[in-house]
Structure 1
Amino acid sequence: MGRPRTPLLDRARITTTALELVDEQGEFSVPQIARRLGTQTGSVYHHVDGRDGIVELMRERICEAIDSRTLDLEPWDAALAAWARSYRAAFAAHPRVIPLLTTSPVRAPKVLEQYERAVGLLLGAGFAVADVMPVLTGLENLVLGSALDLAAPETMWELPEDSPTPQLARALTAVGAGRADAAFDVALEGLIGHARTLLGTPAPDDRDHAP
């Protein structure tokens, strides 16, 4: 038998195409996906639950790149920091999809399962139930904002040679090319430090000197 003129559709190919479109233009539409795959729009709808379903497929695809094994590390703050770094790397690969995902409720079972594990990590460490989601939401805000920062130009402040802001110029020169990473490290340590105060956990250096 000869090969079909129209490639076979499946959810994986639809997801890949949607991500390609978003990476290129910051948005997608079902007709655009269909055209790129050489099929009819109605055929795409046979495989997905509309536009919202495609958004969730993209969320699931990106979250597959997050190393959930980091949540098994000990102690809890090391696990949370490692998870945040993996989370950031996964979304930094597709920063233009972030606005689509942050305006859509999380429904993908595999993604919810990872959040369940993160909640379990904090509850197991002794956090009050009421503190868990503020900590995780704050972490998510930090991670996604930093992923967007990684996609920004390295130099976000363009100063003329005769700049009237010499102190800003000195600070920019001092931070060098690692500004986004350095900012993420500062913010992550600040968030985890605050979480330690909620729990009453000493910082790592204090643990090393504990009797």
Structure 2
Amino acid sequence: MGRPRTPLLDRERITETALHLVDEQGEFTVPQIARRLGVQTGSVYHHVDGRDGIVELLRERVAAAIDPGTLDEVPWDTALEAWARSYRAAFAAHPRTIPMLMTSPVRAPGVLAQYERAVSMLLDAGFADVDVMPLISALEIIVLGSAIDLAAPERLWEPTDRTATPRLARALAAAGEGRADSAFEVALTAFLAHARDVRAGGDGR
């Protein structure tokens, strides 16, 4: 019997299968991946460095949708805003990966390279070393929190006749549709204002 034209198992198939599982149930196991691919669990381990290796493959797979060219835009705050929007869109497509990825160190080479570009952009713009990672971490909180929020119900608050919350009901009615997008715009605008203040040596430092 001849060999199959395409390999039954490779890193790309493992990554795609793990991503489908996380999108469906928020988690994956190596035996589940093996069952989906019709192979033995041990065969999966021949291609990846354990579960942690699969998590990093997932990180690279999702982050590959972030446009690195945004970091070449000028001035620096335009670049940072564009990167944040692209970052949010990439993870909004797979929001259930976020809790998993945010609780493990970043080791994926492609992702680290993109962080290197972001750090370099801020340093070249005149930010002090001590300010760079707090800013990037804060931006991630906004971006990833908003990506999760996009997957949440449009109406997170549902006042009933049994609750005396007339002002909440009025505020909700005034907010209209697009709550998650509006909240992201508020947070991103405030973040960029703070970053400009830090760069200028203001109280935000």
With the shorter chain as reference, the TM-score category is over 0.9
Identity %, equivalent residues = 72
What RMSD, in angstroms, separates the aligned Cα atoms of the two structures? Answer: 1.9
Query: What SS class does the counterpart of residue 65 from structure 2 fall into?
Result: coil
| Structure 1 unmatched ranges of 5 or more | 202-211
Aligned residues: 202
| Structure 2 unmatched ranges of 5 or more | none
Deviation at 1:181, TM superposition (A): 0.4
Q: Could you tell me how far apart the structure 2 residues matched to 1:178 and 1:42 are?
A: 46
1:71-150 matches, within 5 Å, as 71-150=71-150
Tell me which residue corresponds to 2:15: 15
Q: Could you tell me how far apart the structure 2 residues matched to 1:12 and 1:161 are?
A: 52
Q: Could you tell me how far apart the structure 1 residues matched to 2:27 and 2:199 are?
A: 41
Contact kept, 8 Å, 1:7 with 1:38, in 2: the verdict is no
Deviation at 1:7, TM superposition (A): 5.9
Q: Could you tell me how far apart the structure 1 residues matched to 2:42 and 2:105 are?
A: 25
TM-score relative to the length of structure 1: 0.91
Q: Could you tell me how far apart the structure 1 residues matched to 2:74 and 2:30 are?
A: 44
Q: Could you tell me how far apart the structure 2 residues matched to 1:136 and 1:114 are?
A: 12
Deviations 1:61-116 (A, max 9, x none): 01100001000001100100010000001001111111110111000000000000
Query: What SS class does the counterpart of residue 178 from structure 2 fall into?
Result: helix
Query: What SS class does the counterpart of residue 39 from structure 1 fall into?
Result: coil
Deviation at 1:166, TM superposition (A): 1.3
Q: Could you tell me how far apart the structure 2 residues matched to 1:79 and 1:33 are?
A: 38
Query: What SS class does the counterpart of residue 177 from structure 1 fall into?
Result: coil
Deviation at 1:2, TM superposition (A): 5.5
